[in-house]
Structure 1
């Protein structure tokens, strides 16, 4: 690889790193702007999805059962109705925490999808510009380029509204 090639590869890597850092900073800023209640619920939702939570739950249930089976005066005798009530309440609350976290993740995913769309539209514009420049260079040097339907279509702007309507109608047909 040439020195110039190494330099441009390094520049691209730096640009990618800057872009990633920018996105991470924006996501961290979004996280900091959440209320303390939402931040706590996100942490609970995260912890519930780990093996540590499963292990701690198993340990607590076993300890509860052992404590109440082998004590002379158990506070929750077999079949452990108090434990059942606590676990049912916990299930409802943990489901809510997980759903709150999932909603936040869906919003973040939606933002990323919008960003992807914008980047793809910019990349398409750049590709169209390159195709037009290539056609102009070919015309100047009297070089005949093969005409293909894809090449003709690629030179035109994409009608995002039309594509969105087509996707919506296909989605509506699939759900009907």
Structure 2
């Protein structure tokens, strides 16, 4: 299994994605010449869809990329916020990122390339009410008292 990563002046890297995402991105960053910088790198496919691999650092990279596919190296930068969170007094909003392709003349090489991010909304989590266990093993079960048990068997015996 391998992927091709394009960057710079149409340079290519051959990479094995059968490893943790953090290892793949670190290797790509080092081999592309960004190893000693604070640049955050990610990959986008040939259409421009950013994979957002750094949000899955400890998963295997081959879950998020296709074998034998070509990817473009992109730089991920946080967009500076105009308001100070401490001054506003509200809850902090999620960080917004800007992506820049690190491949020169990408528009000529990939005419359908439009850089974009596919935002997947997180499913709302249900909060448990009470401190009891949700398993049936922890629930209290009523025991039948002997009088009602014996009366039921007597009625059943008379009907026969």
Name the TM-score class by shorter chain.
Answer: under 0.3
Query: Which is bigger in relative contact order (C-alpha 8 A, separation at least 6)?
Result: 2
Q: Higher helix proportion, which one?
A: 1
| TM-score, length-scaled by structure 1 | 0.21
